[in-house]
Structure 1
Amino acid sequence: MTDYVIPRPVSGDVVDLILEDHRLFESLMREMRDSTADRAAARQAFADVLVAHGEAEESHVYPRLVKKTEGVGEHEAHHGEEEHAEINEALLALMECKGTDTQKFDDAVEEMNEVLQHHITEEELTILNPAREEVPEEERAALGEAFLKARSEHLDAGAGSIENVRRIVQEAHEEGLLPADDEEE
């Protein structure tokens, strides 16, 4: 089994740190598409960092950016949370695949990539650009530390376990971020 090392910086500009995670997601997605890679290990590392990242953004980054920037409003933050819920739902489907050498797994990877790339592009344009332009450097650094601390706490708590992802997806349904189970299809 290959171990994918999840970087754990302790400081930095929050915009740069989020972008670094986005590039890590893309790298791990490539690993999950590679039939010669340890796809199960890549999937677990991806799940861990993806959930830790999203939870840290929602608890520490989005609320502060809504207060600090004109370009990031409640709508952008809420939309980001809805997209995180969709990503977590796609992640759950990916994690529930028994094997990593099946068409079902390949389809789940493709679906995950579609929702993830949509979110990354939108977040970089509508949230990170205003943050870069409107939030002073020292505040972005302080926000980076808060983001990284929360991200590490989620990583330490097993953020990417299938039980945790199931819980997060269930909560998203209950909060109305995802359609109720009987509304799907």
Structure 2
Amino acid sequence: MSTPIDLGRPVSGNVIDLILDDHRRFEALMRDLRDSTSDRDGVRKALAALHVAHAEAEEKHVYPQLRRKDAITEHEAEHGEEEHAEGHEAMLKVLELKGTDTQAFDDAVEELATALNHHLTEEELTILNPAREEISEEVLVRLGEAFLTERNSQLDADCGDIDNIRRIVAAAEREGLLDDDDEDSED
């Protein structure tokens, strides 16, 4: 499920700048996803790929390194992972809809936008700001290389494939990363 939409393939840089570049890509893709005249199917596939690649790279390389360097707490890292899982779950709902010109699609996009915007804001405030203050430029550049290697490898492996996202969401549910309070209150 590769996409003709350019997701960028940087090869080096400070991890904070690289993460922020992806955050701006998320925002642009969300604008396109809300635009009824855009190729919404292509946009949702590109957004899914970037979301998974970005989250996997952060969870495998960025969050653990920032925890080891005491720039963020275990709770902040776990919260970031929970928000990634919520984003994957919302993304899956968008991908599973057949049409892109329905109220159900618009509702799913709104739910995704809410989850994604919340995460971007919170991550920039509670994870990236401490990293700016606590981590040396040398380490941020090394971390940037690890982040990009994982991110680009994930994109090459078609990480945005709907079946892969289903597996990721199922694993997050098993690990308790997804809050099921909404389901409990309906029972």
TM-score range, shorter chain: over 0.9
Residue in structure 2 matched with residue 75 of structure 1 by the alignment: 75
Residue 54 to residue 88, structure 1, CA distance change in 2 (3 Å): same
Residue in structure 2 matched with residue 36 of structure 1 by the alignment: 37
What CA deviation, in whole Å up to 9, does each residue of 1:122-157 have, x standing for no partner? Answer: 000000000011100010000000000000111111
**CA distance in 2 between partners of 1:183 and 1:176 (Å):** 14
CA RMSD, 1 decimal: 1.5
**CA distance in 1 between partners of 2:53 and 2:185 (Å):** 27
Residue in structure 1 matched with residue 88 of structure 2 by the alignment: 88
TM-score (norm 2): 0.94
1:103-114 alignment to 2 at 5 Å?
103-114=103-114
Partner SS state of residue 81, structure 1 = helix
1:31-180 alignment to 2 at 5 Å?
31-70=32-71, 72-179=72-179
**CA distance in 2 between partners of 1:32 and 1:75 (Å):** 32
Q: Give, as a single letter, the amino acid of the residue that structure 2 aligns with 1:175.
A: E
State the shift of 1:180 in Å: 5.8
Q: Give, as a single letter, the amino acid of the residue that structure 2 aligns with 1:23.
A: R
State the shift of 1:68 in Å: 1.1
Residue 102 to residue 154, structure 1, CA distance change in 2 (3 Å): same
Residue 19 to residue 184, structure 1, CA distance change in 2 (3 Å): farther
What CA deviation, in whole Å up to 9, does each residue of 1:31-79 have, x standing for no partner? Answer: 0111111111111110001110001100000000011134x11000000
Residue 184 to residue 92, structure 1, CA distance change in 2 (3 Å): farther
Partner SS state of residue 52, structure 1 = helix
**CA distance in 1 between partners of 2:175 and 2:184 (Å):** 14
Residue segments in structure 1 that go unaligned for 5+ positions in a row: none
Give the percent of matched residue pairs that are identical in Structure 1 and Structure 2.
62
**CA distance in 1 between partners of 2:142 and 2:158 (Å):** 25
**CA distance in 1 between partners of 2:47 and 2:8 (Å):** 12
> How many equivalent residue pairs?
183
**CA distance in 2 between partners of 1:6 and 1:18 (Å):** 13
**CA distance in 1 between partners of 2:163 and 2:88 (Å):** 12
Q: Which runs of 4+ in 1 moved over 6 A?
A: none
**CA distance in 2 between partners of 1:144 and 1:138 (Å):** 10
Residue 184 to residue 61, structure 1, CA distance change in 2 (3 Å): farther
TM-score (norm 1): 0.95
**CA distance in 2 between partners of 1:28 and 1:69 (Å):** 33
State the shift of 1:3 in Å: 2.4
